[in-house]
Amino acid sequence: MPVTYFHRTRRIFDLPGLRSGPPNEIMVESGEPTSSEAVALPCAEIAHDIETWVFDLDNTLYPAETNLFAQIDVRMREFIADYLALDLDEAYRVQKTYFREYGTTLRGLMSRHGLDPKEFLDFVHAIDLSPVSPSPALDAALDRLSGRKIIFTNASTDHADRVMDRLGVGHHFDAVFDIKDADYLPKPDPAVYDALVERYSLDPHKTVMVEDIARNLAPAAALGMTTVWVRTQSTVGQEGADAAHVHHVIDDLADWLQALADLPG
Ligand SMILES: [Mg+2]
């Protein structure tokens, strides 16, 4: 049975849009939380007045174990080697330097070399998606989830469309807000969240954001959104995961959405 964990410092009735209530049978049956800092509370209430669901794409809609980023990482290095006429080792150094200095490798290449972002995005996302399995479970769970659904990704819309096709869930989503829509500023730049809210006229207090990189949830929580962290083993993903801006912690998105839909009310 999936379970939502709340951190001790974060009580359910402190969260916008959530009602307090006694633990229900989900809590009783959930077993022990894996973190001593987390307490299990029912995942009820979250959906009652939610109008919009904002989902990250990569490692959120499909499991991180597919390791698609490893393929993208290699293609970034190959792109830079070709674009700047460097050997692969030097290209890798440039890649990681720009990532650190500009937030993404892409922004570094755009700022320093005037790169056409489409050329880069098309190349790095031309990966083998076969590690991503079709997900009838996610399809069924999204079918039962009322409200508008938006993809919010640091990748391109083309990549998002291909991944959603592979999963078999594309028809559930009303929009994709991609890195181009964000004017090539990546999450977690707060300006991008403001742009998202404005573009779709979101009421943050009636919006849930689901994401595997915990620090990307901080600006969402600051705006008043309810946040859901899809737990990951990655160091980057875990950074800040025990902070107050993470309201819910889950392991499997489809299971959790099904559990929400199964709750009375
Ligand atoms: Mg992600």
Give the model confidence (pLDDT) of 175-188 as tens digits: 999 999 999 999 99
State pLDDT tens for residues 12-45: 333 333 333 333 222 222 333 344 334 334 454 5
pLDDT band at 136 (very low <50, low <70, confident <90, very high): very high
Q: For residues 208 and 173, what is the distance between their CA atoms, to the nearest angstrom?
A: 14
114 sits in the region (left: phi over 0; alpha: psi -120 to 50; else beta) called left
What does pLDDT average to over the chain? 85
CA of 30 to the centre of ligand 1 (A): 26
Would the pLDDT of 92 be above 90?
yes
What structural domains does the chain harbor? 4-64+134-262 (3.40.50.1000), 68-124 (1.10.150.450)
Would the pLDDT of 233 be above 50?
yes
Q: For residues 94 and 125, what is the distance between their CA atoms, to the nearest angstrom?
A: 19
CA of 7 to the centre of ligand 1 (A): 22
Task: Answer positive or negative: Cα dihedral of 191, 196, 199, 204.
Answer: negative
**How confident is the model at residue 61, as a pLDDT?**
98
The residue that leads in pLDDT, 207 or 30, is 207
Enumerate long-range contacts of 67-70, CB under 8 Å, 24 or more apart. Answer: 67/131, 68/127, 68/129, 68/131, 68/132
CA of 180 to the centre of ligand 1 (A): 17
* Cα-based distances in Å from 105 to 72, 98, 152, 211, 228: 12, 5, 19, 21, 27
**How confident is the model at residue 3, as a pLDDT?**
43
Burial of 264 (C-beta count, 10 Å sphere; 0-12/13-18/19+): exposed
CA of 67 to the centre of ligand 1 (A): 11
Count CB neighbours of 32 within 10 A.
9
CA of 9 to the centre of ligand 1 (A): 26
- Its pTM stands at 0.83
CA of 64 to the centre of ligand 1 (A): 8
Q: What are phi and psi of 140, to 5 degrees?
A: -65, -40
CA of 80 to the centre of ligand 1 (A): 23
CA of 265 to the centre of ligand 1 (A): 31
Query: Mapping DSSP to helix (H, G, I), strand (E, B) and coil, where does residue 208 land?
Result: strand
Q: How far apart are the first and last CA of the chain?
A: 19
